[in-house]
Copies of this chain bind each other. A is one copy, B any other.
Amino acid sequence: MRPTYAYLGPEGTFTEAALLQVPEAADAERIPAASVSSALELVRTGQVRAAMVPIENSVEGGVSATLDSIATGDPLMIIGEQLVPIRFVLAARHGLELGDLKRVSTHGHAWAQCRGWSSANIPLTEYIPAASTAAAAAGLLDDSCSYDAAICAPLAAEQLGLDVLADNIGDVEDAVTRFILVSRPGALPEATGSDKTTLVVPLPDDHPGALMGILEQFATRGVNLSRIESRPTGQFLGDYFFSIDADGHLTDERIADAIRGLHRISPGLRFLGSYPRADQRSYGVPEHHQDKAFRDAHEWVRGILDRE
């Protein structure tokens, strides 16, 4: 039986493009899910092997739905990441030109990212919110559609056979979105030397140094953080957890040691996986933070305790 993968749908979104970048998923059955949480639910219930969801957007920041969904509920594990360049097109029904447009629809984030181009080129066009860029595009095929054009991914316009009135209309060149492939907990992907470890750390209490205490656990082991984002727990104003990406793999002693330190001060800590970096960037680790230094220290103390 072919493995099955879910992704945040509908078809033709950047998320499907991210999934297609994964060799094992290209031939697999792919199920578009209506939301991040339903995609992850398919993983949790074992209906799919893994799901691809967006986690970070270079323009709009962390994707709250994903950050929150993986931070709570039944445990999940990130097994990979994909970077996808974000390119927006303005797609319309056949026969229309820019000057004809009265209403344009897209997802709120996409609208925000094309604000500059829209103000300059279609200033009088009304904005109609949609649940996704692909849904906005698909709506155009519906005769009763209340708008004339959609901002969407090139893939969607192509799949639906829409006219592209303008290409590459995002305000930020080199915009990129990062996606993660999420499975149920299991054996970790092997360390490659260019890995990333993702954690969810509740702020243990609100005394001034609580966040510093967390950061120190990384700093004293020379662990670099490539991302740190605050998220509300949803309980009350000012109650946060932190979503953190650290450079390295749990099988690296310095990462395991930092995580043990975090577990002591914030036992509600959640480990979300160690997996290869999409950018394959490697990072220098000073000698005294390498595995050998940890093993030497461990044996040295062991030697004292074993004396007779």
Contact = CB atoms under 8 A, between A and B. Distances in A.
Interface of A: 56-62, 64-65, 83, 108, 112, 127, 129-131, 146, 172, 174, 176, 178, 185-188, 206-209, 211-213, 215-220, 222-232, 234-240, 250-251, 256, 259-261, 263-265, 267, 271, 288-289, 293-294, 296-298, 300-301, 304-305, 307-308
B261 A297 contact: yes
Number of copies: 4
A31 B222 CA distance: 50
Given A228-B230, A251-B305, 10 more contacts: A58-B232, A60-B234, A61-B232, A187-B308, A209-B219, A212-B216, A227-B238, A229-B230, A261-B297, A264-B289
Given A216-B220, A218-B208, A296-B263, A235 B58 contact: yes
Contact of A129 (B131, B300, B308): B131
Nearest to A56: B237
Contacts of A259: 297, 301
Given A60-B232, A271-B304, A288 B265 contact: yes
A208 to B, nearest CB: 5
